[in-house]
Each structure stands twice: as C-alpha cells, then as structure tokens.
Amino acid sequence: MALDEQQFRTKSDEALTQLEKALQKASDRHEFDVDRNEGAMTVEFEDPPARFVVSPNAPVRQIWVSARVQSFKLDWNDAAGEFALADGRTLRQLLADVIGQQLNETVSL
C-alpha cells in the first residue's frame, strides 16, 4: 500500500522517535552522539570522525540514511509495519549495522 503524505509524515515521525530513543540508550554504551533537528537526525562520531544522517523524504515517501559514504533508501513495508530496505533490513537494523561498522564493534538497538 502506498502511503499518502500525511500517513508518511506520521509513520516516519514515529519511526524516527523510536529510533532516537534506541540510539540514545545505545550512546550510553558506545561512543557516539545523537541529535534531532527539524525532522532530520544526526549520529556523530569523534574517533574516527563521521556523521550519519537519517531524514524523511516526503515527496518519495522514503526515509533516507547517509552513512559510511553510502546512501540507503528505505520504503514503508506493510508486512513488517515499518520502514525497511529491499533486503528486508529495518531502519533500526540498518543503523545498528552501520554504527557497528563505524565503531568496529557489535551494536544492538
């Protein structure tokens, strides 16, 4: 099912709020900071320095993630009830993967 703009805004805001809570908890155990401003979220690392950006893209109804010189575009997955990549990874799984790669350790969200 394709989301209309209002459904997308509601679902993407819920997804980013849940992700932000999970990232805040994880940042207590790992070395990164999380900030959310005007709908976009940044995850920043000091060593090695890096910045990941998670942002909703309403015109195409996707959540975009820019991390580790890659761009990921997640679509709403009705069956999973959340935003996911074509390979099935959810937004939280994707962030856990790329943050883990950045820190060279296992991260769970």
Domain residues for the domain of 75 are 1-28+56-104
Q: Number of folded domains in the chain?
A: 1
Residue 33 placed within a domain: no
Residue 20 placed within a domain: yes
Residue 38 placed within a domain: no
How many angstroms separate the CA atoms of 19 and 2, rounded? 22
Residue 22 placed within a domain: yes
The pLDDT of residue 47? 83
| pLDDT tens, per residue, the chain with 109 residues | 689 999 999 999 999 999 999 999 999 999 999 999 988 999 999 988 999 999 999 999 999 999 999 999 999 999 989 999 999 999 999 999 999 999 999 999 9
Question: Structure pTM?
Answer: 0.93
